[in-house]
Structure 1
Amino acid sequence: MMHAFLSNNRDELTKRCRGKVAQRAGRSATEQQLKDGVPLFLDQLIRTLEIEQTSTPLDSRRISGPAGGGTALYEVSVSAAQHGKDLLNLGLSVDQVVHDYGDLCQAITDLAVERDAPFQVDEFRTLNRCLDNAISDAVTEFSYQRDALNTDANAVESNKRIGFFAHELRNHLSTASMAFVAVKAGNLSFSGSTGSILERSLQALDRLITSSIEDVRTFGHTSLILDSFSLADFIAEIYAAASLSIGKNECIFRVPKVDPDLAINGTRDLLMAAVANLLQNAFKFSQPRTEVFLTAYAAGDRIIIDVKDHCGGLGPGVAESMFLPFSQAGENRTGVGLGLTIAKQSVNANNGTLTVEDIPSIGCIFKISLPRHAVPT
């Protein structure tokens, strides 16, 4: 009888399965899984075989389920589902789920051949039914849990992208609104410098919306358009727009002269958004009537853009987390905490780096480093 063979060789079969798991590349297992997983299924299989030798063989379905599984709950389905979930938590693939039960089948077959153990056809059918149901339930639960995790991850990513889009819309709209107010209050001509800021802000809004529509049309597989442009002109444009949004703390905004022979290569709108967000952060957290510096210069084969504020310095551990989405460390919690995240991603997308240096009791310096290029002719 197969149930007697399995009972008498339970420890040996468990040992062989553990050995197969240990030898298989990429398969890790916790001590609890190795201790409980195979023995539990073996016990369920033994009880199924024993019941099928009684006058009520169909009672075994409560343990191992009918052929082809089913919607009714049975013991093998519960333990197999848990096994599938455990394997997903270990970061394994669905084929590892199948292999785990295949190991047991192979171990039973090998040992039966070695011991010359005769089994009846119906017993093999029961073994196959139990394995089939266990694999099916384990794979089903594995797939469900994996899909749920993917859905959650996609929802988080989608929410982040919407947040980025709304954040940049608000920045450009705010600049456009302040430029319009300045033109109206001063009875200025729209052909002047303030009118140019308004025009550029509206153009940036148009590009942002057009880019978002293109992302939807192509499912996000868009490529960046890189251009070479003057660093001095780039900084001058940022200065003009940022001067309108210094805020209520009346910071003194200083921009030292930039070498006109320097140029950078990248996506202008993304880099503009990066520096604008750093300045917005500096104006927001700097102490009243202190200085905010925007400097741009060459350092070997790199272009460095620094934004120095007077926020009073960073607290312990703040520098490590401040670029994370929705991270807000200061007392001022206006906004959603995406500005620095957008800045870092925009710089990274242009083959650059963004770091922060803490100056205790004074403030901090955000440093953008980009490849240096010749001024376009």
Structure 2
Amino acid sequence: MLHEFLRNNREDLIERCRVKVNARPRRDASPGQLQNGVPMFLDQLIRTLEVEESTRPTESTRISGPAGGAQALSEVSVTAAQHGKDLLELGFSVDQVVHDYGDLCQAITDLAVERDAPFQVDEFRTLNRCLDNVISDAVTEFSYQRDEIFARKLAVESNRRLGFYSDELRNHLGTASLAFAAAKAGNLSLGGATGSILERALISLEKLIDESLDDVRLQSSDPAILDVFSLSKMIQEIVNAADPTASHGTCTLHVQPVDTSLGLVGNRERLLTAVAYILQDAFKFTKPNTEVLLTAYGAADRILIDIRDHCGGLAPGVEETMFLPYSQRGSNRTGSGLGLTIAQQSINANNGILSVRDVPGTGCIFTVSLPRHTLPN
């Protein structure tokens, strides 16, 4: 089996990857730099393959994420994002992020050929899925962090320009004041040389003010100038108020830890209420003795809040009408049928998107996607 092959040859594979990494220009990999990269991913790959051989194979997505490129919080996504961030801080490029994980795939293939180790098609399919997810998550976080650094540089440049603007404004105002004082003291005509100095100073002041007003108009719609609030605190408030026993007493709520550096911008109360509506809907339809899973995490420039229930899956056609007013998705007809409609409207009003994805035979996943912001220090 592939997981046994990987476990037995773990150190050899890591060393092969380190050799490949060090052979590339400007890339000298130390054990510390690789801590959140290849070794950790290799362990997650081994555990994924082991779970898929167990009686609960679908649980492997919590380790390595689903197939098909759908955004989802998993152990792989967290460590890959950290690895991408680490490489950016070390000054590497996005292609080096991709190569780091491609090296592992090549090392596994080379060693398998050398040992003449046969593997099943499903095992290679799992390997490809894990590699696809880890590369995607690492590159996504690398790109987001790079954009954040660029935005901070722009902010520094903007402050520098503001300092120059203030100095210019003070100089022109000083010139105008001196010219006016001289004209007043000497009872001079404004048609002379002193009047010309005053006129040029006033024209320069007018130009500076016009330019600054143009900048204000361009930035007036920027949501970054609004207050940013904590995603983790909002989720904690929702969880504290949530009641999984509202519909029946056998449902449990499981919440994944939330990165405390993640922030949101918008109407906090409306967003809090919207997510609470979705959570209560999940409690309502989840089958007895199952759980509702809530995860909130960053993915590139978005915040994703996933609420996964165990309703058994959606009936045909329900996915298309779920957010319509007075729509009901099951035999439980309690409530007005407006909760999800109100939630969608509130999320849309805050530049967000509410969607649902069916997991046949298991349940469905509601995803709230909102613009991502970093909390101020």
| TM-score (ref. length: structure 2) | 0.53
Q: Which of these two proteins has the greater Rg computed from alpha carbons?
A: 1
Is 2:148 the partner of 1:145?
A: no
| Aligned ranges 1:277-288 → 2 under 5 Å | none
Report the equivalent of 1:127. Answer: 127
Q: Distance in 2 between matches of 1:45 and 1:124?
A: 11
Q: Distance in 2 between matches of 1:2 and 1:110?
A: 14
Shift of 1:74: 1.2
Shift of 1:101: 0.5
What are the superposed Cα offsets for residues 246-271 of structure 1, whole Å, 9 maximum, x if unpaired? xxxxxxxxxxxxxxxxxxxxxxxxxx
Q: Distance in 2 between matches of 1:101 and 1:61?
A: 19
Q: Which residue identity is paired with 2:171?
A: N
Q: Which residue identity is paired with 1:59?
A: E
Report the equivalent of 2:101. Answer: 101
Is 2:95 the partner of 1:74?
A: no
Classify 1:203/1:73 alpha carbon distance in 2 versus 1 (closer, same or farther; 3 Å): closer
Q: Distance in 2 between matches of 1:73 and 1:206?
A: 53
Shift of 1:142: 0.9
Shift of 1:196: 3.8
* 8 Å CA contact 2:36, 2:82 repeated in 1: no
Is 2:177 the partner of 1:172?
A: no
Q: Distance in 1 between matches of 2:59 and 2:215?
A: 58
* 8 Å CA contact 1:28, 1:90 repeated in 2: no
Shift of 1:173: 1.9
Task: State the identity %.
Answer: 71
What are the superposed Cα offsets for residues 177-228 of structure 1, whole Å, 9 maximum, x if unpaired? 2211221132122344433432342354466678889999xxxxxxxxxxxx
Aligned residues: 216
Report the equivalent of 2:155. Answer: 155
Q: Distance in 2 between matches of 1:126 and 1:111?
A: 18
What are the superposed Cα offsets for residues 125-168 of structure 1, whole Å, 9 maximum, x if unpaired? 00001101101111111111111111121122123223322321
What are the superposed Cα offsets for residues 333-372 of structure 1, whole Å, 9 maximum, x if unpaired? xxxxxxxxxxxxxxxxxxxxxxxxxxxxxxxxxxxxxxxx
* 8 Å CA contact 1:29, 1:90 repeated in 2: no
Shift of 1:118: 0.5
* 8 Å CA contact 2:13, 2:107 repeated in 1: yes
Report the equivalent of 2:182. Answer: 182
| Aligned ranges 1:9-158 → 2 under 5 Å | 9-35=9-35, 37-158=37-158
Q: Distance in 2 between matches of 1:215 and 1:74?
A: 42
Structure 2 residue matching 1:33: 3-state secondary structure: coil
- Report the RMSD for the aligned CA atoms in angstroms: 2.5
Report the equivalent of 1:7. Answer: 7
* 8 Å CA contact 1:82, 1:138 repeated in 2: yes
Classify 1:36/1:158 alpha carbon distance in 2 versus 1 (closer, same or farther; 3 Å): closer
Shift of 1:123: 0.4
Q: Which residue identity is paired with 1:130?
A: C
Report the equivalent of 2:201. Answer: 201
Report the equivalent of 1:320. Answer: none
Shift of 1:99: 0.8
Q: Which residue identity is paired with 1:15?
A: E
* 8 Å CA contact 2:45, 2:130 repeated in 1: yes
Classify 1:188/1:36 alpha carbon distance in 2 versus 1 (closer, same or farther; 3 Å): closer
| Aligned ranges 1:210-359 → 2 under 5 Å | none
Q: Which residue identity is paired with 1:91?
A: G
* 8 Å CA contact 2:36, 2:79 repeated in 1: no
Shift of 1:69: 4.4
| TM-score (ref. length: structure 1) | 0.53
